[in-house]
Amino acid sequence: MSGPKIRSKTLQILPEREWIRENISCEKGGFVVEDLDMIVKIYNPEIPRDSGKFRLIEKKNPGERFGYAQISLFKTMDHLLTKSDPDRKCYQGFYLIIWNYKDDNHVKVNNDVLSKIGGQESEYGQWLLGKLYVKPWTQQDFLRRMNF
């Protein structure tokens, strides 16, 4: 098996993931190892044992792309979670964050540019806390990303 394939100069190398990729054979079938960057859970601390709501979040840097296996896996996960919770009572959706380190003031969440100025009170902070709605990715968004 070949060594790690770096898709980006800023991609974090996770030793556990790379060990699996290098040491677990996939000669007799398909095998990929991917990682999801964040799961954000929002809950009400005043409600005992509140199961809350959660979002799946993948972070990319400007110009960074998904690999085919990664987008296929995330698309399937989102599809299954959405089907199991169609009213979005728990699962709020999949989000792509484009975090541009050269722009300290903004972050792109899906197709919306949100302000980071003001921390918790910023648009980005309000979105993280579940107080600002940003449309989650759809299955069509995943398909568009696959056709590159």
Using CA atoms, how far apart are residues 123 and 119, in angstroms rounded to an integer?
Answer: 8
Report pLDDT digits (tens) over 72-116. 999 999 999 999 999 999 999 999 999 887 888 999 999 899 999
Structure token pair of residue 67: 């690999």
Enumerate the domain spans of the chain: 1-33, 34-146
Kindly report the pTM of this predicted structure.
0.81
Q: Work out the percent of the chain whose per-residue pLDDT is above 90.
A: 44
Using CA atoms, how far apart are residues 64 and 48, in angstroms rounded to an integer?
Answer: 41
Provide the pLDDT for residue 2.
47
| pLDDT beyond 90 at 64 | no
